[in-house]
Chains A and B, each alone.
Chain A
Amino acid sequence: MLHAKIVDIKLNKILLSDAEKFISSSNYGASIYFTGTVRNQNNNKTVIGITYDSHDALVIKSFEEIYEEAEKKLKIKNKSVFIEHAKGYLNLGEISIIIAVACKHRDEAYILSRYIIEEVKKRTPIWKKEHYQNNETDWLKGNPIQYEKN
């Protein structure tokens, strides 16, 4: 069971309580909640906020692919997964991503949670623009998406 969404922060909030409602079930004995939040330092610069940009359709597609792969690669069949990523400007400490997973046992819950965030970092089309104290901004350098050159 998967819930995958991009949350436009101007219109909605990204809430842990939504994740809890979605994955909560007596079918599962282990739940992991991962949140990514905006940090105040990066590359020796003082960060005051981050604007997140996203290609919404591709993001949802990548979340679905990662979920499907987890079944094939990790052999974790019985699971509930909630993934939301924020879009727009976030202040320090605000949540940019929630990955909540529920599985039968803790081993598979930890593995699944880690797998999802690492894959999101590698291939989900989301970009960060950092905002600094002196009104400067910078798009962070990321990982190129793999594609066939010819």
Chain B
Amino acid sequence: MKIKVELFGASREFSKNNLIEFEIRNNSTIKDIREEMMSYVDQNFSGNQDFKKIVNSSAFCNESNNIVSDNYKITKDEKIAIIPPIGGG
């Protein structure tokens, strides 16, 4: 199934489209998305360590606007958002 990861903050540098689409198997979890994103950084940014740190230190948010755990199972066509470390004000 296809899922879209919406990019925010520093992760916007990962794509000009402000989102990345991944083809994943059914019953995939956030942990799988994190791994997909690491591979994406390897392939598109030669394993840029700063980008990998962003992926590792980010939380993820589901379509209902809840921060979800790494075990959260993604449903078909769900839009997920990556939430890098924050700092407003």
Chain A residues engaging chain B, CB cutoff 8 angstroms? 36, 52-55, 57-59, 61, 85, 96-97, 117, 120-121, 123-128, 139-150
Contacts and interface: CB of A to CB of B under 8 A. Distances in A.
B78 to A, nearest CB: 15
B86 to A, nearest CB: 5
A128 B67 contact: no
Given A139-B13, A144-B58, A150-B70, A124 B85 contact: no
A145 B67 contact: yes
Interface in B6-24: 8-10, 12-13
Interface in B49-68: 57-61, 65, 67-68
Contacts, number: 92
Given A58-B65, A150-B70, 16 more contacts: A53-B8, A54-B8, A58-B61, A58-B81, A85-B88, A96-B89, A97-B89, A121-B89, A125-B83, A127-B10, A127-B88, A128-B87, A139-B10, A147-B70, A148-B69, A150-B71
Give chain B's interface secondary structure class. Answer: mixed
Given A127-B84, A150-B70, A145 B89 contact: no
28 contacts: A53-B12, A55-B8, A55-B61, A58-B61, A58-B65, A58-B67, A58-B83, A59-B88, A97-B89, A117-B89, A120-B88, A121-B88, A121-B89, A125-B8, A125-B9, A126-B86, A126-B87, A127-B8, A139-B13, A140-B87, A142-B86, A145-B86, A146-B59, A147-B59, A147-B67, A147-B69, A147-B70, A149-B70
